[in-house]
A and B are shown apart, each in its own frame.
Chain A
Amino acid sequence: MRDVAVVATAQHQVAALTGTTEVQLMVPLLNAVRDAIGLTQADIGFTCSGSSDFLAGQAFSFVHTLDAVGSVPPICESHVEMDGAFALYEAWVKIQTGAADTALVYGYGKSSPGSLRDVLALQLDPYYVAPLWPTADAVAALQARLLLESGVSGAGELAEIAVRSMRHAVGSPHAVRSSADVTVADVLAEAPVADPLRPSDIAAEADGGCAVVLAAGDLARGLCERPAWIRGIDHRIDAHGLGVRDLTRSPSAAAAAVGAGAGDDRLDFAELHGLYTSQEAILVRELDLDDDLLVNPSGGALAGNTTMAAGLMRIAEAAARISAGEGDRALAHATSGPCLQQNLVCVLEGE
């Protein structure tokens, strides 16, 4: 296996982008990651992105966004209709094959023009479930209800996760929801949105984007003082049908963590892409994280959820902390699909 590292990251996230197209959002981010390590697009071996045209309601927005990359001379490029973290996986594979030594990866989402909770209904079974238009929060609440009624988690634990996210997000430049003094009692006093989920249990919806550069071996060492090496990366999927799974579990998350070697050594922190406090509670168990592990020092996806970028942002947050010397070994997680259906785990380490 080739050693591959994250050598540069850039991100931008706000509650809603107004007056800025997805292309205009990505131009400064893509320039920032390339400029940070002195590369131009001509130096990039492979470019891969993750996004969904359904978010902003613009057909072929993922092709439009290539305008932000620059494609003269022509570039080698690919796209996934998934979070940018899965685009990073494709880029990592590309580098493993030897077809590229560097890769530019980005993910972005501008869901504010539409109704994200309704748009996400279209990822459900098109014949049996999607015609009922369950909102994303309602589907997640089915999972949360099972979690609480089965006694795996309590409402207090979920509220503690919400409070921890908001406190960690204080001072985090990309978080859109933070609070230094919110309490568990405050969260438990909120009126539910989709019972048992309260507003603070639900990730704060955001628009934004994230860009990352990967590089192999000595090239990475030359580009960056402390590269964040990808020691392991794996993604697994559970069944699509919500009725055929135990929704209090996420076997694919556990398998991805094992595949990525997350438990092979001590972790300093983890960045989780849980879209609800109930999902974070499941992930902490499935990823077998220690009780005292620092989880989501950035606030995590709960503090700002840009659909199609929040997972890549977890990898970027983890890599940036490692490169800054604020940790040596971290787990970054990304999810896709309803109720933690598909999960990616990336273990990053500094030298």
Chain B
Amino acid sequence: MSDPDVPPSALSGDVTLPAVLRDVEPVRSVRTPIRLEYSVTAGSAAEAYLRAYAEKRIVGHRSPVDGAVFIPPRGVDPRYGQETAEEVELAHTGHVGSFCVTHLPIPGRSDLVPPYVSAWIHLDGSAIGFLGLVAGCANEDVRIGMRVRAVWKPDGELGPTSESILHWEPTGEPDVPFERAGNRAWRAGGPDGRDGRQERGDA
């Protein structure tokens, strides 16, 4: 955080004032604090999703158009603008669709020492990935297609928040082949006519 009493570097040099203002102390900056408070309602889809975490469950929504499952659920299939309402309980296992090694700390996560791995986790049965942390192995060993499972907080510490999952750790199973890893939902109903579920061999 920058020191609020130190003017920005762009203003730290001499300011040339008109003659009438020469003998007065220059105004080098103006602070106009802005604070707005909101009581956000998560909405029915997000609320059910968050509450499920407190019960050690992960839920998504199934599209009525082609059966693709979205996580987190937003109550809509964004491809077609169609409402989704069918809740689907998802497995606690999946694979890494993509990842990056992050060198910045997360506020409030002093236990997480940079560099750590942020990844798109593609749960088994889900058509899209969602963000998670990968731990339990060396950063260098994380790869696209690696199978992972959720590591939950102790039961007594679970809450209606995605932070109930501490991170994702390798299962040791064989990798998902690179060409089959990552998003597949976006192909469903596409020109090639392939269905997202068939693509991943789901039921």
Q: Is the CB of A19 within 8 A of B44?
A: yes
> Which of B29-37, B113-121, B163-171 faces chain A?
B29-37
B40 nearest in chain A by CB position? A113
A2 CB to nearest chain B CB (Å): 27
Q: Given contacts A41-B81, A67-B76, is CB(A56)–CB(B32) below 8 Å? A: no
A50 CB to nearest chain B CB (Å): 18
A133 CB to nearest chain B CB (Å): 9
Q: Does A97 contact B (CB under 8 A)?
A: no
Q: Is the CB of A19 within 8 A of B41?
A: yes
Q: Which residue from A18, A68, A72, A114 sits with its C-beta under 8 Å from B76?
A: A68
Q: Is the CB of A23 within 8 A of B82?
A: no
Q: Is the CB of A68 within 8 A of B81?
A: yes
Q: Given contacts A24-B76, A31-B81, A68-B76, is CB(A58)–CB(B30) below 8 Å? A: no
Bound complex: CA A164 to CA B47 (Å): 41
Interface size on B, residues (CB 8 A): 27
Bound complex: CA A19 to CA B40 (Å): 10
Q: Does A171 contact B (CB under 8 A)?
A: no
Q: Does B43 contact A (CB under 8 A)?
A: yes
Bound complex: CA A161 to CA B40 (Å): 34
B125 CB to nearest chain A CB (Å): 21
Q: Does A60 contact B (CB under 8 A)?
A: no
Q: Does A69 contact B (CB under 8 A)?
A: yes
Bound complex: CA A23 to CA B72 (Å): 14
Q: Is the CB of A119 within 8 A of B36?
A: yes
Bound complex: CA A54 to CA B36 (Å): 9
A190 CB to nearest chain B CB (Å): 27
Most-contacted residue by chain A among B40, B46, B75, B81 (CB, 10 A): B81
Bound complex: CA A72 to CA B36 (Å): 36
Q: Does A21 contact B (CB under 8 A)?
A: yes
Question: Which residues A293-329 have CB closer than 8 A to chain B?
Answer: none
Q: Given contacts A28-B83, A119-B36, A127-B32, is CB(A23)–CB(B41) below 8 Å? A: no
Q: Given contacts A67-B81, A122-B34, A127-B30, is CB(A113)–CB(B74) below 8 Å? A: no
Bound complex: CA A17 to CA B75 (Å): 15
Known: A20-B41, A24-B44. 11 other contacts (CB 8 A): A19-B44, A23-B43, A24-B83, A27-B82, A58-B40, A70-B78, A70-B82, A72-B189, A113-B38, A118-B36, A127-B32
Can you name 8 A-B residue pairings with CB atoms under 8 Å? Answer: A21-B46, A24-B76, A28-B83, A56-B40, A58-B40, A70-B77, A119-B36, A130-B32
